[in-house]
Structure 1
Amino acid sequence: ILPLQAYSRKYVAGTTQKGGGGGEGDFVTLHTDEATHSGYHYSSVLYLSTQGEDFEGGSFIFNDPDPDEDQIVDETVGTEEEEEDLERVAAMLEAWKRGEELPESDEIMLGVEEPDEDSSWQEDIRNAGRLLKPFVPTKGAAVIFSSGWENMHEVEKITAGVRYAVPCFFTTCKVEEGHYKQMNVGKPKTDECIADDWLHLLLAHRKEEPMESVGRVKELLMKWHYLCTPLSEHY
């Protein structure tokens, strides 16, 4: 198993992140890691702060299909009034397609009750048919799971404080031989080579440009299994 993004000086899940990013890292929408990044096969999050002490909200939630989903759907069938409203909207849409004039917006909304801002009806709709299993973050705890559709998950919005966490992703994909040839130094062949790689790749002991830093981190991740494995087990 090779680590991906397991070594980083700073990581912020912002609005430009693919997949589950959003809200400058304060919440993560429902997703699977392997669906958004095909190279992610195992995922983990190490928490460095505790919910209820350092921050509020921010629970990690596994979100699975509810085995009783059919029953839930049956119980949430629309009322007779709701069905009449849908028929009225459909009739207006057909009239608009024929080029007929539609009533004013106030007239359309007449009798439609404004939703209560404090109500949780949106959450009820979003979670209908789902089985939620929250994991409460505590300092030193980690959640580790396979990254496929069997582990859909999301993270609740943080409502107060600051949460520190380290996300790590792993792949089972083999590093292609051609990648080693593009490195400054290829596969380590002796214990001394491994020691040199640790010094250069991990400690960044000399001044470097940003692109050199990126390349060094990538090289560390691709060599990780070689640096942590006895020479006799290298392939």
Structure 2
Amino acid sequence: MKKPSRENRKQTGCSCWGDCTCSEKAKGPEPWYSFRNCVTHISIIIISVLMARFWLHVIYPSSFVALAGKDPLDAPVWHEVPCSNDYEEEVFLECKPKRCGRAVMDNLVSRDDAEHLLRLAKRGLSHGGSNGGASILDLHSGALSMGDKFVNIFKIAETDDSLFTEEDFRIYRRVKDQIRQAVADKFDVPVDKLHLTKPTFFSRMDTKKAQTKHDEYWHVHVDKETYGSFHYTSLLYLTTYKNDFQGGRFVFADKDYNRTVEPRVGRVSFFTSGSENPHFVERLREGVRYAITVSFTCDPAKAIADPKIK
């Protein structure tokens, strides 16, 4: 078959993107060139979309499953995962993880204690707050987010005797000890080998636009890479998903699913801090989310003391 001239192809009025069957509507030679290109373009688009969906699923699985939903748990939840090799070279034989995973408990910390700590967090953070959507209060170092930097909350407390009380720190220590014991029991670690480490802090997340990388809490990360001293990470939630905020679920970014922990007042989750537990916090859409990160190490050289009124 003789290839149609450019002039004849123009006369057909055929447009690849407009109509692949335009030969039925136009007189003249068959627009084989346009039809072939149309099929090629569509095939490329379909293949590109399928490949993009495949790689997005591999990197960030689109399916979310609840490890612990918003409703109260009848019993603690445990999800075991294979340990990474992050701990192989470490010398803390009695303490470093022998098995790995994540646990969620609803009856470890009393609601009264959780609500007391929420009031403490709000009092402290009311004296500062970042320009972006994530603020922290660290009662160990005194660090308080203020704009795009940090200030010392204990300097502020020197002019405000009502900011902190001995009762605040007594409850803080009690809750920390309850979580420490639960972590030790679950991972078969002698409790005296498990040390509080930094950073351990209150966090407040809201919907303000991120101003620095510290405000972008929604990126996947590994605690042992971000904070070298961590062996076990725990969180105590002080507000409740869907009641106090929308979004803000804690997400384990596993290869098959994104497994979520939906915060509720008094809920504790804890997990081994290595690359077997990559995670992120879902971006908030509404409201304010409060929590405490309580971190533990096996290295006594990285231990920090309990906080106290300065």
Q: Which has a greater percent of strand? A: 2
Q: Which has a greater percent of helix? A: 1
Fold shared, TM-score > 0.5 on shorter chain: no
With the length of structure 1 as denominator, give the TM-score of the two structures.
Answer: 0.42
Larger Rg: 2
Question: More relative contact order in 1 or in 2 (CA 8 Å, sep 6+)?
Answer: 1
